[in-house]
Amino acid sequence: MSKSHVLELVQVYEALFRDALCTYPTLGDEFKMDLARLLRLVEERGIHFLCVDLPSACKHLDRCLSDGLYSTSGLPATRRVSGRVVIPVFLRGLYLKVFTESGCLRSDYDHEAILFLRQILLVGKKVDLDCKPREVFKAIEEFVEVDNLLPEPDQFWSEDCPSDSYPIEFASFASYFDSLEHSGSADKALSVAFTNLDRISGLVSSALGPYRPSEWNFKHGPGAISERTGPVNKYHFVNWSERLESAYPLADCGFHNHLSWVDACDTVLEPGSSEPFSRMISVRKTLTKPRLIAAEPSENQWCQQNLWHYFRERSEATWLSSFISFGDQTLNQKLCIAGSRTGQLATVDLSAASDRLTCHAVQCLFQHNIGLLQALRASRTRYLHQSIHPGLPELMALRKFSTMGSACTFPVESLMFLGVALAAVLSTRKLPVTPSNVASLSGEVAVFGDDIVIPVDSRVLFCRMLEVLHFKINDSKTYWTGKFRESCGVDSYAGVPCTPAYWRSPTTRSPDSIASKVEVTNNFYLKFFVHTAAFLASTVRREYPIPSVSVESGVCGFKSFLGPHSNRHKTRLNGGLQRMEILIPRPTAVVKRSPVTNSTALLQYFTEDPLPGTPWVHGVTQRPVQRVRTGWVPLVDLGYCAETVQRVQ
């Protein structure tokens, strides 16, 4: 499989060098030698060179841009020109448009050269290939190691069902820090910062308001569940644990009415019969590092989605929306570009952030919202099952609050990092924690998961607070000096985006491959790598005659700033709708459902809440089947102007 990947990816590089030649025609000889070097190194090192070595060289380049000085690294493809010239031989012509021969950043550096350098080095970073088993085993070992370093959850999190008389006494952030026996002026600043974090936690809880499950929507997520693989009726709950029952009564939360609950009592396990566990899954991320997620039990997932709806709606309706938007990365991206222009905002990235979020930190964050905290405790999955690594136990008790896969992980960690960021900024500037002072930080602080933007003057205190809370800064992706920044998929230098496009996999007749390749082609085209886009489009058109469309069109096609053109497809006048239509292939997902014969169909109807008149069927959703089907589409949907449509007619 990798041989076909290498073959097409090399052709992509050839097209990228043609794009570079159009911008820098005087570097033609340099680009020929660069391509020859690349081909030789591919023969020696294989696809690893394209997908690992070159991206590593780009990471080093990004750090050099941030430092304003290019330094040698010893990485593949970075051999220096000579003892006097420190820049690499490979892509020397482009490097010299950014750095001097001694490595200093040029005062007249070329933004286009930075973009081409990063594009050439990163194009193969996100190739769709599975990691080798040893890389997966290594990732699982690191997962277990990180979890073992975290403190054990206290009694509140470990008890199955705390009684009403259980004394809920929560330690604050400040008392936790004081218990670490720190001393010195720097630690006094930290003590003040954690005291401010306690006050901000109160503001966060006040903004979110009380949590009542009946006011928010229950639903299932799109991912897998831990009970089994393949299609399953997620609305049929058979293992509602005692922990869930303590905050989410089964009769109220698991059925559409109480009569249905009574009828199902014979098939539903009594609460407390057993406690389900999540299931570890390894999915693709990069060639050398997988992404580990946990498929949650269907009952826990159902309640976690109710919490997710609460977090999302309450955050959007309050002052929290000035710093967090759970469904939109735009705020982080804008501040990332602004930070690269002014140098006053830092972008911070964390290493395995969700795996380091402790139950104690969550407890301190929501100490003023007891109902919410009890629901988070109840819906949390305490045990994780893994059958991937044969050398590790199959079942482990988790110390972390939750894993990737839980619907609560993203909103809770976002609010945690927001609280720490706001406390760090106010403490650094010696401002009291008041609603007006917090609001004044809008435009300086933004959080999306573990992607964080904060003012540079607060970075040191912010990082120290995170370390006390067991988090770890990812230094290789954190930038606070120079003019390079990256956050939420946007890379920017001096206020100019330099985000690359990524190649994924070779083209096949698979509908998934066609749809993915059209998207990838458009990504290259919109960044004006027209030769690369043309090559990728040619690989698709060998399989299907995908049309060209305008850049504003929502139809699956190759986007063009010139509008749709060269579409050799049949057209017709639809007399019933009085419009011109074109016959084109369209990738679509066909989803079928297997009907169910119990009352869960009614719960599914109320949950999905289809619009009146919408075709809807109940049942177990089967895996989507991708198809490429030919259908008639209005010409105007492709972006044809009215005059063109009239001329065709």
Q: What's the pLDDT at 229?
A: 65
Per-residue pLDDT for 184 more than 60? no
Q: Which of 501-510, 593-602, 631-640 has the highest mean pLDDT?
A: 501-510
| DSSP-assigned beta bridge partners for residue 616 | none
Q: What's the pLDDT at 164?
A: 47
Per-residue pLDDT for 163 more than 70? no
Residues of the chain with pLDDT > 90: what percent?
Answer: 65
Max Cα-Cα span within the chain: 83
Per-residue pLDDT for 94 more than 70? yes
Do the bridges between strand 278-283 and strand 383-385 make them parallel or antiparallel, or are there none, so unpaired?
parallel
- Residue 112, CB half-sphere, CA atoms under 13 Å: how many? 9
Domain boundaries, the chain: 2-125+493-497, 133-473, 545-648
Write out 256-314 in H/E/C secondary structure. Answer: CCHHHHHHHCCCCCCCCCCCCCEEEEEECCCCCCCEEEEEECHHHHHHHHHHHHHHHHH
Q: What's the pLDDT at 166?
A: 47
Q: How far is CA 222 from CA 270, 496, 512, 594, 623, in A?
A: 27, 36, 18, 17, 11
Per-residue pLDDT for 420 more than 60? yes
Higher pLDDT, 640 or 66: 66
Per-residue pLDDT for 318 more than 50? yes
Q: Which pLDDT tens digit goes with each residue over 351-379?
A: 999 999 999 999 999 999 999 999 999 99
Q: Which pLDDT tens digit goes with each residue over 464-491?
A: 999 999 999 999 899 999 999 999 999 9
Predicted confidence band at 271 (pLDDT cuts at 50, 70, 90)? Answer: low
Three-state SS for 86? coil
Three-state SS for 346? strand
Mean per-residue pLDDT for 31-51?
94
Per-residue pLDDT for 313 more than 90? yes
Helices 185-208 and 459-468, interaxial angle, to 10°? 80
Higher pLDDT, 238 or 7: 7
- Residue 643 makes CB contacts below 8 A (sequence gap 6+) with none
Mean per-residue pLDDT for 104-122?
97
How far from the centroid of its chain's Cα atoms is residue 386's Cα? Answer: 23
Count CB-CB contacts under 10 A for residue 69: 16
CA distance 300 to 120: 44
Q: What's the pLDDT at 177?
A: 82
Per-residue pLDDT for 8 more than 60? yes
Q: What's the pLDDT at 587?
A: 85
Which of the residue ranges 316-320, 473-477, 543-547, 643-647 would you say has the lowest mean pLDDT?
643-647
Mean per-residue pLDDT for 277-286?
90
Q: Are 434 and 326 in contact (CB under 8 A)?
A: no
Per-residue pLDDT for 165 more than 60? no
Q: Are 357 and 251 in contact (CB under 8 A)?
A: no
Mean per-residue pLDDT for 18-27?
96
Predicted confidence band at 321 (pLDDT cuts at 50, 70, 90)? Answer: very high
Per-residue pLDDT for 314 more than 80? yes
Q: Are 127 and 504 in contact (CB under 8 A)?
A: yes
CA distance 198 to 333: 29
Q: What's the pLDDT at 484?
A: 96
Per-residue pLDDT for 544 more than 80? yes
Helix and strand element counts for the chain (H, E) = 25, 17
Q: Are 81 and 89 in contact (CB under 8 A)?
A: yes
